[in-house]
Amino acid sequence: MIKAGIIGSTGYAGAELARLLMGHPEASVVWYGSRSYVGEEYASIYRNMFRFVDDKCLDDNMEELAGEADVIFTATPQGFCASMVNEEMLKKTKIVDLSADFRIKDVAVYEKWYGIEHKSPQYLPEAVYGLCEINREDVKKARLVANPGCYTTCSILTLYPLVKEGLVDPATIIIDAKSGTSGAGRGAKVPNLFCEVNESIKAYGVASHRHTPEIEEQLGYACGRQVVLSFTPHLVPMNRGILATAYASLTGTPSYKEVKEVYEAYYGNEYFIRLLPEGVYPETRWVEGSNFLDIGFKVDERTGRIIAIGAIDNLVKGAAGQAVQNMNLLFGLPENTGLTQAPMFP
């Protein structure tokens, strides 16, 4: 049985980790870490865990936890994991970090976009970007996994085959993405109050969102050159879900069938990626509560562009589910262990 610890267990991503790990046949949670709720019963914070979790919240002492857990999940704000990780810790346990601390290889880029000093840049070269469908062999050998962001997971996987095979010009990529409010976290903020978000939709982080360099870096690896793209996120009044609509100019005149064959070559055997039939496009309601990514696309012959659309649950495939997927790879388990739940509806 894999012993797992969660630092940041009372945030939305941490709570989703707790829920998923509770149903995992090969793992158990030994530490519910939370700086804000030390000593309080976990089930008093999340009543859905009543009679499922009897534990009280512990602190965020990763040094102590490293001696008790086989894997530590850090569902914490940027900067925390980087300030805590050290060699002794990594000799004892594996770490799956859900923050952005180890996603971007260039420390200067990280510090520019996140506005904080990176406390352990020496681990950036070895940290593995945990996008399982692309990097699974590297994940299997890792000590430190950088769990990708929600917008990035949806955007990168939706575009990856097109960029990798040179079907689109990367310089023309525009990504228009929408997220549910849980993506903003559980902290009390006026812009996230019900009356502020209900019956409205807004763009934010326009030309400045912190997931932009992450998407650019990973797609740059795919095509072998620097990628600069436009990414605009939007907040919509729903709890969960991300819908990313990406536009790019085609480099040739492929048919729908030819593009579909490329997607099938990359994702046809992927358990968590569902390629939709022609004319059917992703909707967040059909992936809610699951670790699936749905992808659909349209070849626009009139404009010479392709419109590729992806949908995920931002708390599952975009955070906790992908973290568990990474854990499964780290410990040699089938990748979908504990993650075969069908999407919830309604």
Question: What amino acid positions are annotated as catalytic residues?
Answer: 150
CB 76, CB 8: distance < 8 Å: yes
CB 102 within 8 A of CB 81: yes
Q: Give the CA dihedral 97, 101, 104, 106, nearest 10 degrees.
A: -140
Report the Cα–Cα distance between both ends of the chain, in Å, rounded: 34
Dump strand ranges (E) for the chain. 2-7, 27-33, 71-74, 94-97, 128-129, 144-146, 174-179, 202-203, 230-235, 242-249, 273-275, 293-300, 305-312
> For 2-39, b where at least 16 C-beta lie within 10 A, e where not — what string?
bbbbbbbbbbbbbbbbbbbbeebeebebbbbbbeebee
R_g of the chain computed on alpha carbons: 20
Buried b (16+ CB within 10 A) or exposed e, 223-235: beeebebebbbeb
Q: Three-state SS for 144?
A: strand
How far apart are the C-alpha atoms of 217 and 252, rounded to whole Å? Answer: 24
Reduced to 3 states (helix: H, G, I; strand: E, B; else coil), residue 7 is strand
> For residue 131, which amino acid is it?
L
